[in-house]
Amino acid sequence: MIRFDPGKHLYTNARGQLVPSVTFLLKCVGAAPAIPRYASIQKAVARGRAVHTAIRLFAEGKLDISTVDPRIMGWFEAFLDWYGTCSLKRARHEVMVIGEGEGYAGTADMIGMNGKAEEVVDFKTGSEEGWHGIQVTLYALARFHEKRKGMNRRCVYLKKNGTWTQTIHTDDGVTVRRAMAVVDVFNIARSRHMERCAAEAGIEEWGAW
């Protein structure tokens, strides 16, 4: 059982231990850049969170559009335009996914049915970057582990002017291998870190902690 604290953006298991998030994994192995504390960057992060909140409230039927901050309206209108054209059925928003062995967790922006296959969708309010495909693939791999469903996935890029573009990621194997490598590298680094901590503490079997 994984619990999520939205305030701290932390996942914990039933034993109260931290479970790494998808974005944390990506940053640890250098696949995604750490977010610097520049005012402009922090503003973009806040914008993205606001847009995602508006999308979630819309999906829950709780959004009063008149209350949407005019500063994010363009991005939200881009979502509405995309949503009106997408062919996904039985869509659910903000779905927690858990990797094999509770090795990581994340929250997919949307999961729906595309024909007979399930599809994971991630919304972005910035420009396209190479690591986005790895991120959404990690969500899909976790979902595949849980439900043995298909692994279609796409990133939708919402624009300030109300337009959008999207990248549909196919199962060519390349991005999947990169996503699995992220998990492997993180686990190796974590294991070595724990062994070093145990050695410094004079503990022979760190796994017994």
How much of the chain exceeds pLDDT 90, in percent?
45
The mean of the pLDDT values for the chain is: 85
| Cα distance between residue 121 and residue 93, in whole Å | 9
Structure tokens at 77: 């209108």
- Which pTM was predicted? 0.84
Q: Which CATH number fits domain 20-208: 3.90.320, 3.40.50, 2.40.30, 1.20.1280?
A: 3.90.320
Q: Is the pLDDT of residue 78 over 90?
A: yes
What are the tens digits of pLDDT across the range 150-160?
578 999 999 99
Q: 202 φ, ψ to 5°?
A: 75, 25
pLDDT for position 125: 95
Which sequence spans correspond to the domains of the chain? 20-208
Q: Is the pLDDT of residue 70 over 80?
A: yes
C-alpha pair distances (Å), 187 with each of 28, 103, 125, 140, 192: 11, 8, 30, 19, 9
What are the tens digits of pLDDT across the range 17-57?
888 899 989 988 888 877 656 555 577 778 999 999 999 99
pLDDT for position 172: 66
Q: How confident is the model at residue 68 (pLDDT cuts 50, 70, 90)?
A: very high
Span of 98-112, 129-143, 185-199 with lowest mean pLDDT: 185-199
Q: Are 139 and 120 in contact (CB under 8 A)?
A: yes
**Residue whose tokens read 């967790």:** 105
Q: How confident is the model at residue 174 (pLDDT cuts 50, 70, 90)?
A: confident
Average of per-residue pLDDT across 143-155: 76
Tell me which residue of 199, 200, 194, 11 sits closest to 98, measured CA to CA: 11
Radius of gyration in angstroms for the set of CA atoms belonging to the chain, rounded to a whole number: 19
Q: Is the pLDDT of residue 207 over 60?
A: no
pLDDT for position 118: 87
- What 3-state DSSP class applies to 77? helix
Q: Where are the alpha helices (DSSP H) in the chain?
A: 22-28, 39-59, 73-85, 131-147, 174-201
Q: How confident is the model at residue 209 (pLDDT cuts 50, 70, 90)?
A: very low
